[in-house]
């Protein structure tokens, strides 16, 4: 399994952009990079995923390095509700889909100050 490295914690001010980095230098060529987040006392929720190209959705943007050894989750305007632990998770793909469990690292705890 690919190993990931994320900062233990980060702080942001409300309404400002946040860049959450993840190093996944051992990722294989077919692994997708998924991001999940876990708000306090809740189950994790899916944020975004990508393979090679940068991706945008209503929650965030994902910037993937050209060599795929790192990626950055971008929250364009942090809100208090974005305070959570963010997990970067490579997903091993097998033919026909992974359907595998997610392996959670320690993630990055994001604090948002009003």
Partner 1 sequence: GAVVSQHPSWVICKSGTSVKIECRSLDFQATTMFWYRQFPKQSLMLMATSNEGSKATYEQGVEKDKFLINHASLTLSTLTVTSAHPEDSSFYICSAPTLGESTDTQYFGPGTRLTVL
Q: Which is nearer to partner 1, 60 or 91 (CB)?
A: 91
Q: How far is the CB of 20 from partner 1 (least distance, A)?
A: 16
Q: Is 7 in the site for partner 1 (CB under 8 A)?
A: no
How many residues interact with partner 1 (rule CB under 8 A)?
Answer: 26
Q: Is 91 in the site for partner 1 (CB under 8 A)?
A: yes
Rounded CA-CA distance 63/36 in Å is 15
By CB under 8 A, the residues from 50 to 89 that bind partner 1 are 51, 87
By CB under 8 A, the residues from 24 to 53 that bind partner 1 are 32, 34, 36, 38, 41-46, 49, 51
Q: Is 106 in the site for partner 1 (CB under 8 A)?
A: yes
| H/E element, 106 | none
| H/E element, 41 | none
Q: Which residues of 71-105 are buried (b: 16+ CB within 10 A; e: fewer)?
A: bbbbbeebeeebbbbbbbbbbeeeeeeeeeeeeee
Sheet (strand 55-56) strand order: 18-23, 70-75, 61-64, 55-56
Identify the DSSP state of 5: B
Q: Which of 8, 29, 67, 99 binds partner 1 (CB under 8 A)?
A: 99
Residues of the shown chain interacting with partner 1 in the complex, contacts defined by CB under 8 A: 32, 34, 36, 38, 41-46, 49, 51, 87, 91, 93, 97-107
């Amino acid at each position: 399994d690919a190993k990931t490295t994320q900062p233990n914690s980060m702080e942001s001010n409300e309404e400002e952009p946040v860049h959450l980095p993840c190093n996944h230098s051992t990722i294989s060529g077919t692994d997708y990079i998924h991001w999940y987040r876990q708000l306090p006392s809740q189950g994790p929720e899916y944020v975004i995923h990508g393979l090679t190209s940068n991706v945008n959705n209503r929650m965030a943007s994902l910037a993937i390095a050209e060599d795929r050894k790192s990626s950055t989750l971008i929250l364009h305007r942090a809100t208090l509700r974005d305070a959570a632990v963010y997990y970067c998770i490579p997903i091993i793909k097998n033919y026909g889909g992974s359907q595998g469990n997610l392996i959670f690292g320690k993630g990055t705890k994001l604090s948002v100050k009003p």
